[in-house]
Structure 1
Amino acid sequence: MNFQGLQAKYRRLYQESAAWKLLRADNAPIILAFIADLFSDENEVPFGRARIALAAELEKCKEQGIWETETPAGAYLNQWIHSGWLREMDDKLSKTDASEIALRFCMGLDQRNTGTTASHLRIVQEAVREFAVAISPNADERIALLEQKKAELQHEIDALNAGVVTQLTEAQQRERIREIYQLASVLTGDFRRVEDEIRELDQAIRVQMIDGGAKRGEVLLSVMEKEALLAETDAGSAFEGFFQLLCDQNRSTEFKDQLRSILSKPVAEKLTPQQHQFLSQLMRELSKESERVFHIRRRTEEGLRAYIESGAALENRAVNRLLQQLERKAIALKDAGVESKTATVLSLPVGPIKISSPDSMRLRPPDEKLDTSDIEEQVNSRTPSSLMLDCLDAVQVREIALQTRNTLLKHGPMTIASIAAIQPLKSGLEELVAYLRVARSVGATSLDEKESVEVLDKQGIRLKADIPKYLLSADLFPDNIEEMAI
């Protein structure tokens, strides 16, 4: 590509790339520092907490004279979401691929290490060897390459059996563990890119439905085709590969054990505390990221299905046709030299428009009387009805506690099921819950088992419930039942 092509490419990125816009923002250092600090411990933060944290930081910046602004923190967060630097879903914020790229760029400037050239070369050599074996169509050539690799492994095994243990130098250990961190830190960016591609897929399909007039079957076929293309992208293949690793219990367990072993060695001291924490929680963070990608994909599929079934695409297509007609009419009037304020008889088939406001509501005048002709006066009764008495017939927990203590004094330590066998429960589940509250209040011994209790409700229906097994005794109860916290 020549100079003109390159400068056109970079100019386009300069104007369109959200990561580049973030890096050249007026307050880029403050924005990047806030994003890095906000997501230092978790990948999703509630919007309210982020707003409070940003408000506190803005106040500090104002006191120090770094950034004097009267704009509220919530407005800045919404602006950053609109710019593509943050993503909001279900009232939670997360980083985007653009912010990940900008943060990695800044960290790369500060953590630049030219000593990793040997480590990079080793990784490239191993990748070239494995790729050469994988793509070779000649069976003899592939066998020769594998035999060479086998011979190298056998030589290393023989040396170990002979007692020759080759140790990496301190510099080599430092290079390799930092290289592990650099490679692992890129994975989260891959997941962010998968999220962006899923949203771009959703948008592309909706635009296709509006512009192309495709039928539902054609749209569903397009969805499946684009889902297949999504899996073939760099970010999509990285996600698919990790998901296969996650599903393989042996590989994931081996990976976690090896990471734990590396971080327990002295070489782990070459990492910063943040790098050490990141690697120690790598599998957990990647599991959360994969769950988030599946959640977004499921939400996108559900939204597309609802969009297809609701017929909203047909309505949007009709609106689009009307707008196109209006644009053509406007261009024709302009070409004819008609003034913009000239009255026309132009009408579009948009249907009736109904506008309502609080001013259109009919309010009752103060002098308008209320019609009470069909209202009959009722005399209040002094005798409570049976329905009212049933509502007031609630279980008294302190009476249950007193009855339970008297039963235990007479029969000795018992469980709730044994007490219920002597004093049947006739007030339903409410009475059973009262017994459980009494047992928890006196600190009855839990036997780590369950027992079955039969209960009769107020309608005489027999219920059977499985409850925790508590052993109660009379000495657990205070002398004054009123002192119990139930």
Structure 2
Amino acid sequence: MATVPATARALRLLQRLEEDAAWRLLRADNAAIVAALLKEHLDGDANRRDAEDLYERIDADLDDLRTHGLSLPQTAQAYVKAWRDAGFLVRRTTPDTRTETLELSGAGLAALRFLESRDAPRRSLTESRLASLSAQLRQLAIDTDPSSERRLARLREERAAIDARIAAIEEGRDDALAGERATERVQDLLAQAAEVPDDFARVRTEFEQLNTLLRRRILESGESQREVLDDVFRGVDLIAESDAGRSFAGFSALVLDPALGTAFEEDVRHVLERDFARALSIAERRALREFLTTLKDRSAEIHDVITQFARGLRRYVRSQDYQRDRVLRGLIQEALGEARESASAIKPWAQLGVELALTHVEIRSAGALTLHDPAEMNAPREVEAHAGEVADLAALRALARATEIDFDELTNDVNAALGRARAHDATAVVSVGDVLAVNPATQGVASVVGLLALAARWGIVPAEAEPEELHWTGADGARRRARVARHVFTGRIP
């Protein structure tokens, strides 16, 4: 395999240095303090905490650290926000309570694991690790051997070795593993088990990236976008059917296998009853005892994430929300294109004289808040169900006319009135009052408003024209009138 030039490798690593949150944590100014706080409060049994709880705990630690002469001027909330922006933490909401929670990101876990390995390095080249690697390598050689004769020969060798060990145990020549060798093997197993939370964090991040990618493909035009839409409409679970989804499904099925779970718990109980287990710390004994439970809990959590993403993606497509977002995306791209063209003529700091309204209400006082009372939404009595009837087309048309202005009808009225006037004078114009005089307002004031809207777009307001008095009959049968600026139509409405 060709070697990678040093320059290319250095440039790639420099890019990773800027993009990878784990590297950012390791080279942070207060990396030791950040790692210690995150390790204490988010890397253990409580790997996820409410934001307010985490702020309170870190504030107490910061006060203690300041007494030792460390300069930590900011509050816990400010530090946590900076860590979240840097990618060390991930903010999520709890579906039940809608509260904000914080947990370590995959990159944050990777950085903590590296620091742990430097702080308390594990012994390498141990007997248990070498035996484990040898066993896995031999099993791989057997499983991948295309020759059935060689696979059978290797299996017979294993069977002969097992028979020889059985005979040795029966004759009293094979002693049980104990002492430091047994303790070393348990600790090696726990070291491998400690990497599992990192794997779950990476899996969750991978599913989040997959969900974002699928939504982006839906918004983009082209063949790929149509394929994703077709799959969603057909009910295909694109999250579960992905490579990551199928891989996790196989892992989850193994974790939830009742036979495997019973055997695992039985083996753990027997190991902890051995004499050598007394040399294990309380944390190591608890980690071994709760390992399978932890796997099941984290597996269930990833299942919930997959289900949530799949339902959200299906709802996003079937509710037609993606069409609105595609329009918005197109408008944003159009605005960016126009901004790029005007960048050479207009400086970024130039005053444009345009005021934009805020997208939220500014609250100036707590008295402006109104508490929500769920009891107000309770129905006074049970809702009665009524069977639907066959829709009446005439009634539907009447309902549409009652709720929307019939611009098609008004456009025809204007063009007809203008056509009659120009039959005698080719330069004639008609006003809104002229149209109403020939074609009464069938929708009452809505017709008047519609005509004025058409005139504002397709007509003019003569500079010295006198106001015009409009007459129409309301929906209640009463005659009404109004004085408005004279609007005239100078041409046909397309």
TM-score between both structures, scaled by the size of structure 2: 0.63
Return the alpha-carbon distance in structure 2 between the equivalents of residues 24 and 334 of structure 1: 37
Match of 1:177 among 186, 191, 197: 186
Deviations 1:9-40 (A, max 9, x none): 32222111111111212222222112221133
Distance 2:14 2:207 in 1: 26
Q: Corresponding residue for 1:298?
A: 307
Q: Which residue of 1 aligns with 2:241?
A: 228
Report whether the alignment pairs 1:48 with 2:61. no
User: Contact 1:97 / 1:196 at 8 angstroms: preserved in 2?
Assistant: yes
The question of whether the paired residues in 2 share the 8 Å contact of 1:205 and 1:219 is answered with no
Offset at residue 219 of structure 1 (A): 5.2
- List aligned pairs for 1:69-148, cutoff 5 A: 69=73, 71-89=74-92, 90=94, 91-148=100-157
Q: How many equivalent residue pairs?
A: 348
1:25 counterpart SS class:
coil
> Deviation of residue 353 (structure 1)?
8.5
Cα distance change on mapping 1:151 and 1:318 into 2, 3 Å: same
- The sequence identity of aligned pairs, in percent, is 24
Counterpart code for 2:19: E
Alignment partner of 1:191 is 2:200 = yes
Name the aligned partner's letter for residue 43 of structure 1. N
Between the aligned partners of 2:359 and 2:143, the Cα distance in structure 1 is: 68
Q: Determine the C-alpha separation between the residues in 1 that align with 2:233 and 2:8.
A: 38
Q: Is the 8 A contact 2:21 2:88 kept in 1?
A: yes
Distance change >3 Å, CA 67–CA 284, structure 1 → 2: farther
CA distance in 1, matches of 2:293, 2:88: 24
Structure 1 distance, partners of 2:62, 2:349, is: 48
Matches of 2:362 and 2:135 in 1, distance apart?
Answer: 74
CA distance in 2, matches of 1:356, 1:108: 48
List alignment gaps of at least 5 residues for structure 2.
95-99, 364-494
How far apart, CA to CA, are the structure 1 residues paired with 2:165 and 2:359? Answer: 84
Q: Residue 178 of structure 1: CA displacement? A: 1.3
Distance 1:357 1:191, change over 3 A: closer
| Partner Cα separation in structure 2 for residue 355 and residue 250 of structure 1 | 56
Alpha-carbon distance in structure 2 between the residues aligned to 1:194 and 1:172: 34
Q: Structure 1 pair 340/160, CA: closer, same or farther in 2 (3 Å)? A: closer
Tell me the equivalent position of 1:217. 230
CA distance in 2, matches of 1:124, 1:57: 42
Q: CA deviation at 1:334?
A: 4.7
Q: Which residue of 2 aligns with 1:63?
A: 67
Q: Which residue of 2 aligns with 1:281?
A: 290
Equivalent residue, structure 1, for 2:40: 37
- Cα distance per residue 1:428-466 (max 9 Å; x no partner): xxxxxxxxxxxxxxxxxxxxxxxxxxxxxxxxxxxxxxx
Paired position in structure 2 for 1:332: 341
The aligned residue for residue 8 of structure 2 is: 5
Q: Structure 1 residues 8, 107: closer, same or farther in 2, change over 3 A?
A: same
Counterpart residue identity of residue 229, structure 1? S
How far apart are residue 154 of structure 1 and its match?
0.9
What is the DSSP-based 3-state SS (H/G/I as helix, E as strand, rest coil) of the residue aligned with 2:103? strand
Do the aligned partners of residues 32 and 280 (structure 1) sit closer, same or farther apart at CA in structure 2, a change above 3 Å counting?
same
1:222 shift after superposition: 11
> 1:314 maps to what in 2?
323
Unaligned runs of 5+ in 1: 360-486
Offset of 1:143 from its aligned partner?
0.4
- Residue 48 of structure 1 aligns to which amino acid in structure 2? E
Q: Which amino acid aligns with 2:24?
A: K
**Aligned residue in 2 for 1:262:** 271
State the SS of the aligned residue for 2:202: helix
TM-score by length of 1: 0.64
Using the alignment, how far apart are the partners of 1:158 and 1:183 within structure 2? 33
Work out the CA distance in 1 between the residues paired with 2:45 and 2:105: 16
Q: Equivalences for 1:273-422 in 2 at 5 Å?
A: 273-334=282-343
8 Å CA contact 2:178, 2:276 repeated in 1: no
Match of 1:459 in 2: none
SS of equivalent to 1:67: coil
Which amino acid is the alignment partner of residue 159 of structure 1? A
In structure 1, what is the Cα distance between the partners aligned to 2:40 and 2:318?
43
Q: CA deviation at 1:144?
A: 0.7
User: Does residue 205 of the first structure (1) align with residue 214 of the second (2)?
Assistant: yes
Shift of 1:56: 0.9
**What do the CA deviations read for 1:111-162 (whole angstroms, capped 9, x no partner)?**
2233543322211211111111111121101101111111111111111111
Q: Return the alpha-carbon distance in structure 2 between the equivalents of residues 83 and 338 of structure 1.
A: 33
Structure 1 residue 278 displacement after superposition: 1.6
Q: SS at the partner of 1:88?
A: strand
SS in 1 for 2:259: helix
Q: CA deviation at 1:103?
A: 1.6
Do the aligned partners of 1:205 and 1:223 also contact (CA within 8 Å) in 2? no
CA distance in structure 2 between the aligned counterparts of 1:160 and 1:178, rounded to whole angstroms: 26
Q: Distance in 2 between matches of 1:340 and 1:225?
A: 42
